[in-house]
Amino acid sequence: MSYDQLTARPQFSIPQAEKELLLLEALDGLTEHHRVRNAEYARVLDAISVPSGDGLERVPFLPVNVFKHHLLRSIGDDEVFKTMTSSGTTGQRVSRIVLDRATAARQSTTLAKIMTHVLGPSRLPMIVIDTANVVKDRKQFSARGAGVLGMLSYGRRHFYALDDDMQLDEAGLREFLHLHRGSPILLFGFTYMVWKYFFQQIVGRGIDLSDGVLIHSGGWKKLQDEAVGNAEFRAAFGRETGLRRIHNFYGMVEQVGTVFLEADDGTLRPPNAADVLIRDPDTWRVLPNGEPGVIQVLSALPLSYPGHSILTEDRGIVHGIADPSTGWSGRRLEVLGRVPKTELRGCSDTHAAEVEGASA
């Protein structure tokens, strides 16, 4: 089975051509799996024009916005193990994603394989750059809570660095660092919170984080408004705290488990069971390397909902394909930011109408 072949091998180790063959087989199987088990998805497939091409570009995709308006699932009520929601401000629609036990197991196993690529096989003492209350509801997760909870299993002796008012527990942090001095530690948080509520509260305090590995994720828009990009983020932490092992990752609740991890050169890499394409927002054709467009993410994981091929609302560019000998094979993705709503409206509205028709 192609899915097993992809996940059994070390992450970021499969040559691109071989990976695409295995992944295409898995994705074709998932398209048929969801067609049979999900009447709404089947009607969408019947209504849309299937992308042309012989490779990954032929896999039909759904715009991510569809999951904000419809609960698409390929399982029965009695099979629902967990419901996840995306982040959103008050009044905004959020995506709702249902997981059965098999999909949840795939996600947790895959994420573990990805993270151990940079963390090693042992659980590390962990600093959570958030408040403890973020994981309080274990049944219905927000994207933030799910992200924190998903990372907790890679750490031990968890220390939550912030209180409910987003104030740093400096005394607790210093005690934690003293206790684990000389040993690797894991830090995890969402990018804006890491910068705004953690870094800015430790500037000038002489806090040494040189033993740390920071894993972080989230949109850069707020930081870019403050003229803070990835390079500035990394440089500031190194200069102020000695922390240099920093890995951003790109992911979304609609495809939890298949996160794209930042390699040593600062670009993001898809794991074995996932990949990325860049599409032209006007024609939806796949663009060559070096041309910016809309990011499409592909994943061999989701069995409980048709999320194996999603057109995101993000812009990106692929800077070629890395050699497996570097330890970081795959397409070299840079995320450029959100797509203007006007560019995606036609695609999203069309799909939403088709799903509405299927629900009637």
The pLDDT, as a whole number, for residue 135 is 75
The two structure tokens encoding residue 129: 């750059």
Output the six-digit token pair for 169: 């527990």
Helices marked H in the chain = 2-8, 16-37, 39-47, 66-69, 101-119, 143-152, 170-179, 191-193, 200-202, 221-225, 230-241, 341-359
Structure tokens at 151: 């990372």
DSSP-assigned letters across all residues of 170-230: HHHHHHHHHHTTTS-EEEEEEHHHIIIIIIHHHTTS----TTEEEEEE---HHHHHTT--H
Residue 140: the pLDDT is: 47
- The C-alpha angle with vertex 253 and arms to 218 and 169, in degrees rounded to 5, equals 45
C-alpha torsion angle, residues 334, 272, 286, 63 (rounded to 10): -90
Greatest mean pLDDT among 34-38, 68-72, 136-140, 356-360 lies in 34-38
Note the pLDDT of residue 221. 65
**d(Cα 21, Cα 111) in Å, to the nearest integer?**
22
More confident: 133 or 38: 38
List CB contacts of 252: < 8 A, sequence separation 6 or more: 64, 86, 143, 297, 310, 312
State how beta strands 62-63 and 124-128 pair.
unpaired
pLDDT interval class at 143 (50, 70, 90):
low
Higher pLDDT, 286 or 138: 286
Closest by Cα among 358, 254, 238 to 309:
254
For the record, the structure tokens of 318 come out as: 């692929």
Domains and CATH numbers, the chain: 1-80+267-360 (2.30.38.10)
Q: What is the pLDDT of residues 57-108, one digit of tens each?
A: 999 999 999 999 888 999 999 999 988 887 655 457 888 899 999 999 999 8
pLDDT, residue 232, reads 86
pLDDT level of residue 3 (50, 70, 90 thresholds):
confident
Beta-bridge mates of residue 189:
216
Q: What is the pLDDT of residue 345?
A: 46
Q: For the chain, what percent of residues have pLDDT higher than 90?
A: 62
CA distance readout (Å), 233 to 140, 174, 237, 337: 32, 22, 6, 16
Mean per-residue pLDDT, 141-152:
72
48 within 8 A of 61, measured Cβ to Cβ:
no
Q: Tell me the average pLDDT across 255-277.
A: 92
Say how many CA atoms lie within 13 Å of 136 toward its Cβ. Answer: 6
- pLDDT at 358 > cutoff 70: no
Share of the chain above pLDDT 70, in %: 89
End-to-end, the C-alpha distance of the chain in Å comes to: 37
Q: 340: pLDDT confidence band, cut at 50, 70 and 90?
A: confident
Place of tokens 């450029």: 336
Task: Tell me which of 37 and 133 has the higher pLDDT.
Answer: 37
Model confidence at 342, in pLDDT bands (50, 70, 90)? low
Number of C-alpha atoms within 13 angstroms, CB side, residue 219? Answer: 13
HSE (side-chain half, CA atoms, 13 Å) at 234? 13
Rounded to 5°, angle at Cα 46 from 302 and 256:
15
